[in-house]
Every structure is written in C-alpha cells, then in structure tokens.
Amino acid sequence: MKITLSFQFYDLPLQHPFTISRYTVNIQKTVIVCISDSVHSGYGEATANPYYHSTQERLTASLLKVKPIVDSSAELHPTELWKKLSSMIPEDYFALCAVDIAYWDFYARKNGKTLRSYWSNESDKTPLTSYTIAIDSLEMMQQKIIEKPWPIYKIKLGMPDDIEVVKQLRKITDAVFRIDANCAWTAQQTIDNAEVLKDMNVEFLEQPLKAEDTEGMKHVKKHSVLPVIADESCQREADVENCAGIFHGINIKLMKCGGITPALRMIEKARSKGLLLMAGCMTESTVGISGLCQIASLLDYLDADGALLLSADIAYGVHFDYGKIHYAKAAGTGVKMHSK
C-alpha cells in the first residue's frame, strides 16, 4: 500500500516568554510531519531552533528531499528507514526526528499496537516529568510555581544571583528542584554552587559548563557533591562514549539525536556505561511530547513539559497529572490533531 509524507508549519504561542541563558522565545515555530496510507496516519514534530541551526527553510528542504524515499517505503521497519534517511540528510537531525517518530507512529498504528509496547510493557513504571521555570524576574518565577503546583521543577539559571534565586524559590515550595544552567557557569562556580544547592533539595545539575569544556567537566565530576547531567554535550550517539567519563548521566533529546531509533541505541549504550538516563524536550506540541513519552519507562528522569508551556496546543495525546504520564488509549503514540 502506498504511503505519503506531508508536513505543515505551525506557530505555537507560549503562556509566558521562555528565557534561558542564550535566548528568549515568545512564539515557537514547529513543523508537523504526517505519514499516511489514507487509513492510518502517524505524526512527528521538529521545532525551529537557532542554536541548532534548525530553520523553517532547512527543515522544508530536508523533508522535500526525503519525501520520495518515504513515499516508497511502506513495508520497511522503522530502523531500516532511518538508515536510508540518515544517509540522505546526515546533518539535519531535527528533520530526521520528525520523520522517524511519524513513521514509528504509523508503523505501530498499522500493526494495532502502542508504540511503547515495542520495547516495554504497558504497565512499566515511568518517571514523573519536571516542569520548567524559565529565567525571569524573581517575582515571575515565583508566580509560575504558584500557578503550576508540581512535584519536580527544572529551574533555568545563568544569572549573576543564581543562588539567591533558588533560595527565594525554595521559600514557596518544597518540591524537588533540578538546576539547568545551560552552559552559563564555570567549573569552580559549579562546584561551589553544588555545595549550597545540595542543602536546598536540588537533585542534580544539568549542563553547567560549555559543551567543549571537557577539562572543566572532568574537574566538576570529581568534586561536585551533586550529579551532573549532560545536555548540550550529548547530542548524538557518538557523544555517549565521550560523556561517560565526565558526567554522571545524559539527557537525550529526540530532535538532537534524530528520533526514537537512535535514542534507543543511546539508551542501551548509556546503560552499559553505568550512566543515569534522562530524556528531555524542546518547547513543542503534544505531537512531539507523545513521541518522547513512548521511551519514558527506559529512563531515570523525564523532562517532557514542552506542551505544558503553551497557551494553545495543536493536538491531543499524552497528558500529565501532577507529573504523572497518562497515555492516550490508542495505537501508536495516540496523537490526534485538533480540527481546524
């Protein structure tokens, strides 16, 4: 049976401006890929992201390039299709991710199975997702916590008064904190900050140093009293090996590595190296988040709040109750696009 790849761009409005140490986003542009045989349709997503050179123009060019291959690959296993596509657009991992998840979703729906059932049991325990508090005025960061009671918060830092910010946020919630400095700290800052933050119920630090600062991270891993998780330092499969000696764990993002197919390989490799495993998201819709949550049972930590940060979504799928994943009762990822 013939299948067809199509795609459409959307503007996703955010509830609040989303600021990290590098930039601020008010509206997130994203592309939704659909792979359909007119009976079953699978959906995947990739966002535009300047830091990773993902633009609407680049995504469009890559998707048009692989469309003829996808349209003639209805009987391929998803891992085989990924091999073919990765040789055609070897540097556009965001586009690869969108197609890979869409095809996995289509493949599972066609076979009447949930996507996660291919590598885990339906009843397997899944970690709670964190909810991100982006950089803002202290008053706004506090207000966001008050508006969204949650068991785990990821706090974005990279300001001159980082420790004071955490102290003030700690006054209004006893939830677990995870700290993400997005490459904004030095090695000594990280070591010193960890000493203070450990006593404020902080679980771990995410990517405190610039991705290329390998020597600094070796020093941090040796002396930090908190675990340190790689993010910008762990984008692709090859990065897992490099991170094993300088981090306690890795954060896998499907768009950075090219989708579920390589993410499964990264998980296997990371476990063999004794690394803690986390998966994270971009600011994305429920389409991408539903794909991400299919690997949740394989992880130690989860950051899947992308759609929770939006003021308007474009799809139904997984949803969360105080951090807990609730899967859609449907095959594939369970995604259903909103009607226009």
Pick from 315, 265, 280, 302: nearest CA to 102 = 315
Q: How confident is the model at residue 18 (pLDDT cuts 50, 70, 90)?
A: confident
How many residues in the chain?
340
Give the pTM: 0.95
C-alpha dihedral over 324, 290, 298, 88, to 10 degrees? -160
> What is the maximum alpha-carbon separation in the chain?
60
Mean pLDDT, the chain, rounded, equals 96
At 211-243, the pLDDT tens digits run: 999 999 999 999 999 999 999 999 999 999 999
What is the phi/psi pair of residue 118, to 5°? Answer: -75, -20
Q: How far is CA 62 from CA 86, 136, 286, 330, in A?
A: 11, 35, 23, 30
pLDDT at 20 over 80: no
Let me know the angle formed at the C-alpha of 248 by 144 and 92, rounded to the nearest 5 degrees. Answer: 75
